[in-house]
Amino acid sequence: MEEKKIILTEEEKQTRFEQYNNRTHVIGRIVCIITLILLTGAPFVMGLYLGAMPDFKAVGRGFLSIGIVYFVSCIAEFLVYTPMLGAGGTYLAFITGNLINMKIPCAMNARDIVGAKSGTAENEIISTLSIATSSLVTILVLAAGVALLIPLQPILQDPVLQPAFDQVVPALFGAMAYKYYRKNMGTAIWPLLIMSLLFMLVPSLTGSTSFMIIPSGAIAILIAWLKYKKGK
């Protein structure tokens, strides 16, 4: 890594990185709080313009019926994704959203290309760079798309292209599956088999795949752990 001009001792690197990391937490927290205020405040500002305010009873009812589900899924997402993305990446990813269908695979792909190990300084930097880039691309594509909505709409909603856009996520996971399975087939086969069987027996579970990641991941980690123990 340090074959280039800059030669640093491990301690120097460690100090510099720790400084960076500590500031990341401070900045990340501040930015998250500001974004939270902006996001929850926006409906009220819109309300001032539209001449109406949110119906809090309806908000309460709605939160109890669907919000709880997302609350629980956010806990799971937080626990699973934080170690994958590192500090800076996590703050940014939760601010910009689209984790499962974009930010996570994007960061994992970048990490693979560079060969960074999880929990290292390099991984922290790569993951932040990757998520920031990805967020900017989405923001630019959406801004351009919204600006050009009238000419673009018929193309994007063309019945020939529609099936293609419905399949972005399977296309993503198919490619990722090959990349990860080929080196870890022994680990991958178990969650794949068990989860397939489960989805076959209880097809309604396909509607909550994002929750099923938890048992599936747990099986994969268990198998990997058994192998790790055996190898030691």
Site for another protein in 104-143 (CB under 8 A): 104-110, 112-114, 117-126, 128-139, 141-143
> Could you say which residues in the range 53-92 bind another protein, by CB under 8 A?
53-55, 58-59, 61-63, 65-67, 70-71, 74-75, 77-80, 82-84, 86-88, 90-92
**Distances in whole angstroms, Cα of residue 144 to Cα of each of 3, 9, 96:** 41, 46, 17
DSSP string, 37-70: HHHHHHHHHHHHHHT----HHHHHHHIIIIIHHH
What is the closest distance, in whole angstroms, from the C-beta atom of residue 11 to another protein in the complex? Answer: 9
210 near another protein (CB under 8 A): yes
> Could you say which residues in the range 146-175 bind another protein, by CB under 8 A?
146, 149, 152-153, 156-157, 160-175
What is the closest distance, in whole angstroms, from the C-beta atom of residue 231 to another protein in the complex? Answer: 10
Q: Between helices 104-114 and 68-96, what is the axis angle to 10°?
A: 50
CA 94 to chain centroid, in Å, comes to 8
Containing 211, the helix (H) or strand (E) segment is helix 209-231
CA distance 129 to 106: 10
6 near another protein (CB under 8 A): yes
226 near another protein (CB under 8 A): no
Q: Could you tell me how many residues of this chain bind another protein (CB under 8 A)?
A: 169
> Could you say which residues in the range 24-43 bind another protein, by CB under 8 A?
24-25, 27-29, 31-36, 38-40, 42-43
CA distance 169 to 166: 8
